[in-house]
Structure 1
Amino acid sequence: MIVTSILLILLAVALLVAGLAGSSSVLLIASIAASLLAAVALVLGARQAAAARAMAERNPSEADSGVSSPYQQAGGFVVPSQHVSASTDHGGTGWRQPPGPPVDTSALVAPVDDEPAPQLVPPADAARLARLDHEVWVVDAHPRYHLAGCARLLGEPEQLPVGEAVDLGFTPCAHCAPATALLAEQGRTASGGAGG
């Protein structure tokens, strides 16, 4: 496919020169069509090469045994897949490792430089947070939201309602613990409003 795309590019250049020299719109349109076909052939060739590399890098023992890897490639992303037979259910919930040696999943998550850990929030509290309109601070391209004055709030912060920050995929910073502070503030406001 790569050779085909190179030949199509050469044809497109020749048609372009001939079209410009002869003032022929038909040759210019043919040049554009050849360029588009060259681009399609180049993309297809690159995908075939990537698929061939992926197959070559696959563990030969897995390929021979027909056993799939615990991490299946889907659209360029590595997606963990669960390989547990129904007879091994122990009544627990959540992900379980497939039989065999444990799989190190730390390499699957790209480390983010100097990012604070996310604050762990129970699902019920996360749902309450998503309904709040209290302001938090976020920095574009960073995954955490913060309280004003957080030492880990670096870059050019902007203020958003916490519900909007949650909707956009930001998670609370473990350093300043905004989820705890906002939920406590909501509780004080609710109890102060009920008593007054």
Structure 2
Amino acid sequence: MLLTVLLLLLAAAGVLVFAVAAGSAQWAWLSVLLCAVAAVLLFWSRARDRKRGPAVPRHSAHAVADDTASGPVVESEPEPDESGTTLGGDTTGPPAEAVEPDPDTEPSEQRTDAADVLLVCESGAEVFVIDERPRYHLDDCSWVGQRATLPLPAGEARELGFTPCAVCCPDTAVARLERSSA
């Protein structure tokens, strides 16, 4: 739609130049008419887009995954305390890694708290992305399998709009690594 409007405006500019050069008022009015048609198309397009509803925003590098993202979001694994017991979390079902991943279905997005997101973005830890896929993974992610991956620093992966995989939970692993090295 925007391309059509742009072409109409370019045509209007061309007609206006011709109208000035020829000294013809009829051509000038044609230029005004083309601009009016372009404006009507813009307003119509805007109204149509509003009826469709809001678009899902892309996550920024420091954004925390929210509930408006498409697809289900899985909580990251709870961390054990000093005694080795896990705090919180449901222990009735198998862990995400034990479930056989479907190779055609995109894994869910790992939910990461803000502190972990900051650690991940500031770390130089390497994660792996798959071309044309929205998630980043650890090198041993069971969902990745034999797919070709591209290594990226975790912070850069976040900046580029990639989100963490819920199968391998890279944010949890990177944050844990950063905390242990600090």
Query: Normalising by the residue count of structure 2, what TM-score does the alignment of the two structures yield?
Result: 0.47
Larger radius of gyration: 1
**Greater relative CO, 1 or 2 (CA 8 Å, sep 6+):** 2
Query: Normalising by the residue count of structure 1, what TM-score does the alignment of the two structures yield?
Result: 0.44
